[in-house]
Structure 1
Amino acid sequence: MTISALQKARAQYQPKLPKSLKGAVKLVDGAATESVADQEEIKKLFPNTYGMPIVTLEEGSDAIEFPAMNVGVILSGGQAPGGHNVISGIFDGIKQLNAGSKLFGFLGGPGGLVDHKYIEITAEYLEGYRNTGGFDIIGSGRTKLEEEAQFDKGLEILKELDIKALVIIGGDDSNTNACVLAEYYAAKDAGVQVIGCPKTIDGDLKNEMIETSFGFDTAVKVYSELIGNIQRDANSAKKYWHFIKLMGRSASHIGLEAALQTQPNITLISEEVAEKKQTLEQIVDYMAGIVAKRAANGDNFGVALIPEGLIEFVPEMKKLIAELNDLLAEGSDIEKEFKMMKKGHRLEWLATQLTPESAAVFKSLPSGIANQLTLDRDPHGNVQVSLIETEKLLGEMVKTRLAEMKEKGEFNGKFGTQYHFFGYEGRCAAPSNFDADYCYSLGYTASVLIGSGKTGYMSSVRNTTAAADEWIAGGVPVTMMMNMEKRHGHMKPVIQKALVELDGAPYKYLVANRDQWAVETCYLYPGPIQYWGPTEVCDRTTVTLQLEQEGK
């Protein structure tokens, strides 16, 4: 296989580990835990895996002999840089416990477990994937493991391969499913442990014990390089406003971090919009006001960052989308009738099924946007917000508002737009040193949790703004992160998403500086990810983590 010069050099990189994982390891149990909310309901649903202690891994004095063990691994959901290194960490970790241990990868995500499609991951096979981006080592998928028939079908192949533990690498929903699976196998005394690893570039799987999800660091660095390039272009040509939509369906962590790295003129934060109950009109007025101020200074150019999930945080849009999700729920009578109807009549008819307030909002939207709100739902029953061209909606509305302002003499500049959506560009990038190290440590930690007989835990690595040697490895019970939420019209246990905290240091830093960044041209140009050179350049964490950890 032909590989690039960078791939060849990167293959030689040896990820750094916390010192607690470099030799004999001992587990230290903390206090018993409880879920973040809905304690009684969660406890009732997870009697075998609720209330377990947080586990910390520390340097041990005596090496323990472990029996050889077969372990399975699944990559679940969207890709994130570093997944291959999680698998590398698991492989090296179980081999360290016992050289006779084997690792099996289920192909194409959770569906591979149900359909019995797998490969054995050998040392030779793994070598070509170390420190690389992507999930192509075994592929990924979005099949949800939530039915007992799936659990039992999966258990058949686990028994056939004598697999004693399964590692599910995924986001909040995938790790919720991992916990449900762990509970089911524990209840059946099936002899299969289940461990999760925190993955999502969106950054919304985080809490006190999970400081960041893997892939976030790399993805935002890639986006920030592109944003910096566009800012340089905007400042060179001086004739376009660039409206850039960034991934981040439920939370604006990507947009916030990218803003801290690049200092654009406008950064919209979904959580702020929801908190202030800002209407679409207020958002447009805010953006148009900044365009006008810059134009008054002779700057008819700029950059605006927009989170892809913004539309769901605007109160009137959130209400509309919630109604549409219920009306168009899979298998509902309304959904069936809607799909049978001729396309030319669909939107008009659907408006008659909405409440008067939502119907008015629905009718006010450009037909293209209204149509995008009715497209097939994602596997969780929600609108696929990445298909909604929010950047174009805002661009067109700002253009209209500026025309009104021009008639009143409140704007006398020019307004040309360019639109971008950065998503797939960052999902499979070669991992940064941080993600290469962090992911390897997460995988290695998972192997220690497996060797210690744990199930229903998520691998955790903390103190991540320190040198990797000082990172704190451990495990956190997945039930600790759960609450009850409405999904597909039913209340279900899910890991609570971490939104941008409006009283947190990263957001406060943005607020303290954004008025200056709005009017002045204060662009930062981060450039591409660096792998070799000064530590402060190559191993730096996100600005978000640095600000969050200051003073701790």
Structure 2
Amino acid sequence: MAISALQFERSKYAPKLPKALQGPVKVVVGKETESVADQEEIQKLFPNTYGMPLITFEEGADTGSLPVMNVGVILSGGQAPGGHNVISGIYDGLKKLNPENKLYGFLGGPGGLVDHEYMELTDEIIDEYRNTGGFDIIGSGRTKLEEEAQFDKGVEICKELNINALVVIGGDDSNTNACVLAEYYLQKETGIQVIGCPKTIDGDLKNEMIETSFGFDTAIKVYSELIGNIMRDANSAKKYWHFIKLMGRSASHIALECALQTRPNVTLISEEVAEKEQTLAEIVDYIANVIARRAEDDHNFGVILVPEGLIEFIPEMKTLITELNDLLAEGQQSANEFKALVTDAEKRTYVIGKLSETSSKVFASLPEGIAKQLTLDRDPHGNVQVSKIETEKLLIEMVDVRLAEMTEEGTYKGSFSAQNHFFGYEGRCAAPSNFDADYCYSLGATASVLIGNGKTGYMSSVRNTTKPADKWIAGGVPITMMMNMERRHGHMKPVIQKALVELDAAPFLKLAENREQWAVETSYVYPGPIQYFGPTEVCDATTKTLELEQGK
């Protein structure tokens, strides 16, 4: 296979590990845990895995090889930079425990486990994928593991291959499924362990034990480079306003981090919109006023960052979307009736007639394109697919109308020309930054130690990540500790609690402190591409979010 010069050099990179994982490992058992909320309900649903203790690794004494173990690995959900290094870390960790251990990759995500599609991962295969982006080593998928028949099919193939443990590499929903699987396998006494690894570029799988999900660091560096390039172009041409939508379904971590990296004129934060109960009209007014203020200095250009999930946080839109999710949920009679309709006009009329009076008015007021996007097929979790909603175009259209009104009022005397962008897939499969290469490899190595020590229902945890890698703290956190109950498909279900942007935390406060200055002035910062080689302060730098959260 032909490879680029960078990939050739990158294959030589040896990921750094926490000191505790560099030799024999001692397992230190910490305090027992409870779920972040809804303790009674979660404990009833997970009687075998609830309340398990935190685990930390320390340097230990050599105890020789452990018995032979075979392990299966699954990549679940959307891609994130560093997935291949997680698998490399698992592989090397297993071989360190016993050279006879084998690692099997289930193909195409969780569906590979159910359909018995797999491949054995060997030295030759692993070495080809070290420090590379993407999930193409075994592929990923969005099949949800939530039915006993699926679990039992998994048992069949695990018994056939003598697999002792499964590692699920995924986001909050995938790791929730991993916990359900661990609970079921314990209940049925199958002897199969299940370990999770925290993956999502969205950054919303985080808590006191999971400081960041892997892939976030690389993705924001890719997006920040692109934003910086657009800023340089905007400042050169001086005639365009760029509306940039950034991936991040529920939380605004990507938009916030990219804002701290690049200093745009406007950054919308979904969580702030929800907290202040801002209407769509108020958001449009805010943007239009910034544009008008810059026009007073003949600056008819700028950059605006829009989080992907914004539309779900605007109060009247959130209510509308909740009603639409329930109306169009799989299995509902109304969903079947809706799908049977032929024309967009028929569908629009049908929806308006089924919603509450307030939501009907909101839905009827939306441009046809946006209204149609809101009624597209739901994702596997029953939610609207926000990546398909062109929020940035909606804002451009509404801002254009508002500026025309302001021109007539005499409060705006500039020219407005807009460009729209959506940065999402560009960042999901980039070659991992040094941080993600190290972090992911450490997560994989941690998973292998958890397996070697007979643990199940745990997620790999690597903390203290603003320090050099050898000072990172590795261990395991019970997945039930992160859970709460949420409404999905019209029913209450246990899920890992999403971490949204905290408005009283240092990263957001840094943005709030500077947003007025950045709005009016052209304070752009141009981060440039990810640096893989060079000074440590450039190549191994963590995100601004982590630095601010940990007081660096």
> TM tier, shorter chain?
over 0.9
Give the letter for the 1:289 counterpart: N
Deviation larger for 140-149 or 542-551: 542-551
CA–CA separation in structure 1 for the residues paired with 2:338 and 2:459: 41
Question: 1:75 matched to which residue of 2?
Answer: 75
CA–CA separation in structure 1 for the residues paired with 2:449 and 2:162: 19
C-alpha deviations, 1:248-276, integer Å up to 9, x for none? Answer: 11000000000000000000000000000
> Counterparts in 2 of 1:483-494, with a 5 A limit?
483-494=484-495
Question: 1:520 matched to which residue of 2?
Answer: 521
Give the letter for the 2:466 counterpart: T
C-alpha deviations, 1:396-438, integer Å up to 9, x for none? Answer: 1001000000001100000000000000000000000000000
Shift of 1:125: 1.1
Shift of 1:370: 0.4
Indicate whether 1:387 and 2:388 are aligned.
yes
**Alignment partner of 2:299: what SS?**
coil
> Counterparts in 2 of 1:400-411, with a 5 A limit?
400-411=401-412
Shift of 1:65: 2.9
Question: 2:158 matched to which residue of 1?
Answer: 158
Give the letter for the 2:184 counterpart: Y
Question: 1:86 matched to which residue of 2?
Answer: 86
**Alignment partner of 2:74: what SS?**
strand
CA–CA separation in structure 1 for the residues paired with 2:75 and 2:328: 30
Question: 1:140 matched to which residue of 2?
Answer: 140
Q: Percent identity?
A: 76
Give the letter for the 1:356 counterpart: E
Shift of 1:337: 1.1
Give the letter for the 1:199 counterpart: K
Shift of 1:277: 0.3
Indicate whether 1:321 and 2:297 are aligned.
no
**Alignment partner of 1:474: what SS?**
strand
Deviation larger for 183-192 or 63-72: 63-72
Work out whether residues 271 and 500 of structure 1, in 8 Å CA contact, stay in contact via their aligned partners in 2.
yes
Shift of 1:61: 2.6
Indicate whether 1:452 and 2:453 are aligned.
yes
Shift of 1:24: 1.0
Is there any run of 5+ residues in structure 1 with no aligned partner, and where? none
Question: 1:286 matched to which residue of 2?
Answer: 286
C-alpha deviations, 1:76-118, integer Å up to 9, x for none? Answer: 0000000000000000000000000000000000000000000
CA–CA separation in structure 1 for the residues paired with 2:337 and 2:450: 50
Work out whether residues 24 and 64 of structure 1, in 8 Å CA contact, stay in contact via their aligned partners in 2.
no
Question: 2:363 matched to which residue of 1?
Answer: 362
Work out whether residues 106 and 118 of structure 1, in 8 Å CA contact, stay in contact via their aligned partners in 2.
yes
Shift of 1:349: 2.1
Deviation larger for 33-42 or 332-341: 332-341
CA–CA separation in structure 1 for the residues paired with 2:61 and 2:181: 34
Indicate whether 1:130 and 2:130 are aligned.
yes
Shift of 1:338: 1.1
C-alpha deviations, 1:141-199, integer Å up to 9, x for none? Answer: 00000000000001100000000000000000000000000000001110100000000
Question: 1:507 matched to which residue of 2?
Answer: 508
CA–CA separation in structure 2 for the residues paired with 1:94 and 1:174: 23
CA–CA separation in structure 2 for the residues paired with 1:509 and 1:365: 34
Give the letter for the 2:140 counterpart: S
Indicate whether 1:231 and 2:231 are aligned.
yes
CA–CA separation in structure 1 for the residues paired with 2:352 and 2:479: 41
C-alpha deviations, 1:472-521, integer Å up to 9, x for none? Answer: 00000000000001110111100000000001100000000010000000
Question: 1:538 matched to which residue of 2?
Answer: 539
Indicate whether 1:27 and 2:20 are aligned.
no
Question: 1:352 matched to which residue of 2?
Answer: 353
CA–CA separation in structure 1 for the residues paired with 2:64 and 2:424: 45
**Alignment partner of 1:530: what SS?**
coil
Give the letter for the 1:462 counterpart: R
Work out whether residues 295 and 412 of structure 1, in 8 Å CA contact, stay in contact via their aligned partners in 2.
yes
Question: 1:97 matched to which residue of 2?
Answer: 97
Give the letter for the 1:50 counterpart: Y
Shift of 1:63: 3.0
Work out whether residues 25 and 63 of structure 1, in 8 Å CA contact, stay in contact via their aligned partners in 2.
no
**Alignment partner of 1:533: what SS?**
coil
Shift of 1:336: 1.1
Question: 1:118 matched to which residue of 2?
Answer: 118
CA–CA separation in structure 1 for the residues paired with 2:336 and 2:45: 33
**Alignment partner of 1:128: what SS?**
helix
C-alpha deviations, 1:38-80, integer Å up to 9, x for none? Answer: 0011001111100000000001133343111100000000000
Work out whether residues 82 and 215 of structure 1, in 8 Å CA contact, stay in contact via their aligned partners in 2.
yes
Question: 1:10 matched to which residue of 2?
Answer: 10
Give the letter for the 1:334 counterpart: S
Give the letter for the 1:423 counterpart: G
Question: 2:248 matched to which residue of 1?
Answer: 248
**Alignment partner of 1:401: what SS?**
helix
**Cα RMSD for the two superposed structures:** 0.6
CA–CA separation in structure 2 for the residues paired with 1:294 and 1:254: 25
CA–CA separation in structure 1 for the residues paired with 2:41 and 2:120: 39
Question: 1:396 matched to which residue of 2?
Answer: 397
> Counterparts in 2 of 1:35-46, with a 5 A limit?
35-46=35-46
Work out whether residues 484 and 493 of structure 1, in 8 Å CA contact, stay in contact via their aligned partners in 2.
yes
CA–CA separation in structure 1 for the residues paired with 2:468 and 2:383: 40
**Alignment partner of 1:213: what SS?**
coil
Shift of 1:525: 0.2
C-alpha deviations, 1:370-411, integer Å up to 9, x for none? Answer: 010000000000100000000000011001000000001100
C-alpha deviations, 1:272-312, integer Å up to 9, x for none? Answer: 00000000000000000000000011100000000010000
Runs ≥4 in structure 1, deviation > 6 angstroms?
none
Give the letter for the 1:247 counterpart: M
Deviation larger for 53-62 or 418-427: 53-62
CA–CA separation in structure 2 for the residues paired with 1:126 and 1:61: 28
> Counterparts in 2 of 1:147-296, with a 5 A limit?
147-296=147-296
Deviation larger for 442-451 or 338-347: 338-347
Work out whether residues 167 and 197 of structure 1, in 8 Å CA contact, stay in contact via their aligned partners in 2.
yes
CA–CA separation in structure 2 for the residues paired with 1:98 and 1:331: 48
TM-score by structure 2 length?
0.99
